[in-house]
Amino acid sequence: MLAIDGTLLDFKQLDLLAMRQTAIHRLDPRAKIITTLSFIVCVVSFNRYEISAMIPFLLYPAVLLTVGELPFGYILRKIIIVIPFALVVGIFNPVFDREVLMQIGSLDVWGGWLSCLSILLRALLTASAAILLVAVTGFPAICEALEQMGMPQVFAVQLLFLYRYIFVLTDEGVRTARARELRTFGKRGLGLRQFGSLVGNLLLRTWERAERIYMAMLARGFAGQVHTRQRGHFGRNEVMFVAGWISLFVLLRCYNVPQLFGRLLTGTLP
């Protein structure tokens, strides 16, 4: 039960971080969405063996983390959650791809190991960009910005409701888990039969609470559109932000900066 409480409070921290008033937070959400999408497209467009060329892309998450005054430890914990899934995807690459692509001394490095590391680095970069986007913008503002960019209003509202329903479901789960702990002794009441009843009761409780929330929204004038507290304005700062970062992303995508820097130090540039 305590673990569920901690997870709930930890998850809500993203909404609290989005309420800050830094230079990144004040930018129009559309600018941050366009920049993040461009970042992700550039990162995933590298070939499967590329590693060094993606390292400079760490600059974008680092700048957002610093300028947005976000807690590094909290963001890192969120990113680490994604790493095991990426590891599952790439862990078998060394088994099927044993082509020797490079040597470190007498050690042969297979292409499978390089592609596995590439997958992990892509996951790190894309997950950090997505989490930081929510942390400096807020999910409601992202949904409204996507609607302004052409997403159907129904889909945007459903996406926002799905996000909010996670909190409703988690809150009811905390209440149900606490009630079960207070009514059980030892291992009694913890069997599979009781677990099925618990899940069914949780579904009914969240359904009823969701209906009460919806009726309260209708009573307050909800007409199918969700508004955020602040209206964005795509001005000069947003244009400079988008143009500057996208130009940098394209430059880093076209040129392997670490490789060029290494050649410069060794004097092997043409």
Confidence grade of residue 118 (pLDDT, cut at 50, 70, 90)? confident
| pTM of the full structure | 0.79
Instruction: Give the mean model confidence (pLDDT) for residues 20-28.
Output: 88
Give whole-number Cα distances, 145 to 41, 159, 181, in Å. 19, 13, 43
Given pLDDT bands bounded at 50, 70 and 90, which one contains residue 246?
very high
Q: What is the pLDDT of residue 49?
A: 82
The percent of residues in the chain predicted with pLDDT above 70, rounded, is 81
Average pLDDT score, the chain: 80
The predicted pLDDT at position 2 comes to 45
Mean pLDDT (whole number) for 85-111: 73
Distance CA 86, CA 118 (A): 10
What confidence tier does 160 reach under pLDDT thresholds 50, 70, 90? confident
Q: Could you tell me if residue 69 is left (phi over 0), alpha (psi between -120 and 50 degrees) or otherwise beta? A: left
The pLDDT of residue 214 is 79
- Over residues 192-242, the pLDDT tens digits come to 666 667 777 777 777 787 788 778 878 877 776 666 555 667 888 889 999
Query: Any bridge partners for residue 108, and if so which?
Result: 103
Provide, rounded to the nearest whole percent, the portion of the chain with pLDDT above 90: 21
Give pLDDT, residue 1.
Answer: 45
- Token duo for residue 96: 């099927």
**Which residue did the predictor score with more confidence, 127 or 115?**
127
Do residues 125 and 64 touch, judged by C-beta distance below 8 A?
Answer: no
